[in-house]
Amino acid sequence: MSLTIKSTSSFDDQVEDVSWTQAIKKEADSIPRITADTLKKLCKKHDLFQTPYLNDKLYLHYQAFRKIENLDGYSAVKALWLQGNIISRIENLEPCPELRCLYLQDNAIEVIENLEPVPLLDSINLNNNRVREITGISVVPLLHTLSLVNNNIGSVAAMEGIRGHPHLGILDLSDNSLPEEDAQALVDLLSTLPNLAVLRLVGNPILRAPEFHIRKKIILGCKRLTYLDDRPVFDWERLLVEAWGRGETREEKLQFEQEERIRQGAEKKERDRRNLAAMTMLMEDGKSRLLSLEMEEERSGVKSEELDKIRNWKPNSDFGDDYNEFSKEREQFLKAKKEIEEDDKQEKVEEDEEEQEEEQQQDKQKEKEVNDNEQQKKNQKEEDDEMEIERLLNEVDREKKKDQEKKNKDEKEQDQQTVQIQEIINVLRIEEKSKDEEKIDEIVADEAVAETSNNKSNEDQINNKDKDIDNKEQLDAMKGIVEKRGQAYLIKEDNKILQNGISETENEAKKNEEEVKNDQETSAEEKQMMKRLINEMKTDEVD
């Protein structure tokens, strides 16, 4: 019994292990990974080449990747964007030996390592990570830019990895935890970087030691530094710092700095005086030369070319050695001003480029969304216009069908009226014919009565057979005349009735023709209205 219970428990444990394994595997499959298909999709999304070795840049940012992997084939990549992921290690960069720029900000990296496969690396961005110590930099001797904003660097001892780096020119350590007590160690470390030109330490407690004069000591130690924190390092400031550094005690430092400040002020005044004197001399020489040329022109009466040249003189003209000297000084001033402006912009160049690229990607995405919405609206409008046109055509067809039915109905009624008229004509003919026959019978009867009275008055002549025959022939002739007159009357009445029917039929036909003509005009107006409506729709679509 105990054995059975033990076996059942073991089986349940195995089932539970299998279920956990499946859950872990399912979760692992749902994590985004850098695969060949993923890389092709991202290349297509960012308008890059589908052939891996043709791409010199690769955008893999903000994809929730946890590991750098499967970059085989992308051997020509020089810029790799991996910011905004969940990457915890720098690894698997062997397929990209030509890499120059590596952007890994906003990840979870704790150690700078595995940079040996990219010896040509020029810039690496590790802002907003978890780096505690700067290591692994010596294997990339051409590294020029190192950005470690908002990491966990808590001491200068953790920065020993950059000591003596030959090409490091830009170093950003803003928003870390460098303590005040490491100020001198930081100055000593930075003085070993021969090409350091830009340094940012904003947001570190080490800047809270005003008595140490950290800015002056860093400028004094870094001979090529041109920009420190939020302002450039001008030549006059470097001269003041060098004078300050010659002193041994605090009082001597302040005295030497004050003397240098006075010297620079006096030198500036002397330079301004010389410039003013040279300008005054130029103006006086110009006036005297102009006066002499005018007097010579007035005396000789010949127009002077040199005087015309002076009158048409412009600041960019090549007139006189004095002006050339003045132009050189002016060019030197403009050159110095231009260098200052370039120094102001130098720090923001790379950040601006990166921001511009991100903005371009966002603009492309927004533009694509806007184009898709406009296309959907256009398609919907076209569908609505087609439905409206179809509805109007159907309505026109229904109206035509109604008109045809009405026309057929009118023709049928006209045929019925024609039949009725024919029947009426036939009835009238029969009635007129019966009336005429009655009249004929009455006439015949009257004549017979008259003939009878004549026979009675002439009883003596009745016996004459020949005379009787003559009377009978006369009676037959009379009856024939009466019948002919009756038929002529009937024909006349029939023609009259038929003429009335034909007139009514012609009137009805004219009325129907007018109705058909009106219907055709109405149909033509409807067609014109349809054409005008379709043209308006097309015009709206073009707008």
Residues 464 and 52: their CA atoms lie apart, in Å, by 149
CA dist 50 → 40, 58, 515 (Å): 6, 11, 72
Tokens of 140: 């990339």
Q: Where in the chain is the domain with CATH 3.80.10.10?
A: 28-267
Largest CA distance in the chain: 200
**pTM summary value:** 0.51
Tokens of 52: 């891996």
Q: What is the pLDDT of residue 7?
A: 45
Of the candidates 534, 519, 532, 528, which has an alpha carbon nearest to the alpha carbon of residue 399? 519
Residues 138 and 168: their CA atoms lie apart, in Å, by 11
Residues 47 and 55: their CA atoms lie apart, in Å, by 10
Chain center to CA of 408: 58
The one-digit pLDDT tens for each residue of the chain (543 residues) are: 344 444 445 555 555 665 666 665 565 567 889 999 999 999 999 999 999 999 999 999 999 999 999 999 999 999 999 999 999 999 999 999 999 999 999 999 999 999 999 999 999 999 999 999 999 899 999 999 999 999 999 999 999 999 999 999 999 999 999 998 999 999 999 999 999 999 999 999 998 876 778 999 999 999 999 999 988 999 999 999 999 988 888 899 899 989 999 998 888 888 888 888 888 788 788 778 778 878 887 888 777 777 777 667 665 544 455 556 656 666 776 676 677 667 767 767 777 787 888 888 888 888 888 888 888 888 888 888 888 888 888 888 888 888 888 888 888 888 888 888 878 888 887 877 777 777 777 776 776 676 666 655 555 554 555 555 555 566 566 666 656 655 665 566 656 666 666 666 677 767 767 776 776 676 667 667 776 776 776 676 555
Give the count of alpha carbons within 13 A of 69, CB side only: 11
Residues 474 and 294: their CA atoms lie apart, in Å, by 157
- Residue 429: other Cβ atoms inside 10 A: 15
For residue 65, give the H/E element and its range. Answer: none
**CATH for 28-267?**
3.80.10.10
- Interhelix angle 214-221/235-246, rounded to 10 degrees, is 100
Chain center to CA of 541: 18
Given a contact cutoff of 8 angstroms between Cβ atoms, the answer to whether 76 and 97 are in contact is: no
Given a contact cutoff of 8 angstroms between Cβ atoms, the answer to whether 165 and 144 are in contact is: no
For residue 146, give the H/E element and its range. Answer: strand 145-147
Q: What is the pLDDT of residue 5?
A: 41
Backbone angles phi, psi at 73, to 5 degrees: 100, -20
Residues 320 and 313: their CA atoms lie apart, in Å, by 11
Q: What is the pLDDT of residue 484?
A: 62
Residues 89 and 503: their CA atoms lie apart, in Å, by 110
Cβ within 8 Å of residue 64, ≥6 positions away: 31, 32, 85, 86
For residue 371, give the H/E element and its range. Answer: helix 321-457
Nearest-5° Cα angle at 526, 523 to 531 = 130
Residues 320 and 330: their CA atoms lie apart, in Å, by 15
Q: What is the pLDDT of residue 24?
A: 57
For residue 123, give the H/E element and its range. Answer: strand 123-125
Of the candidates 198, 181, 91, which has an alpha carbon nearest to the alpha carbon of residue 144? 198
Given a contact cutoff of 8 angstroms between Cβ atoms, the answer to whether 87 and 104 are in contact is: yes
Cβ within 8 Å of residue 116, ≥6 positions away: 139
For residue 81, give the H/E element and its range. Answer: strand 79-81
Residues 165 and 292: their CA atoms lie apart, in Å, by 67
Residues 134 and 110: their CA atoms lie apart, in Å, by 10
Give the count of alpha carbons within 13 A of 177, CB side only: 10
For residue 103, give the H/E element and its range. Answer: strand 101-103
Q: What is the pLDDT of residue 173?
A: 95
Residues 127 and 174: their CA atoms lie apart, in Å, by 9
Given a contact cutoff of 8 angstroms between Cβ atoms, the answer to whether 193 and 223 are in contact is: no
Can you spell out the DSSP letters for 179-225? -GGGHHHHHHHHTT-TT--EEE-TT-GGGG-GGGTHHHHHHHH-TT-
Residues 214 and 178: their CA atoms lie apart, in Å, by 13
Residues 450 and 447: their CA atoms lie apart, in Å, by 5
Of the candidates 242, 274, 273, 272, which has an alpha carbon nearest to the alpha carbon of residue 260? 242
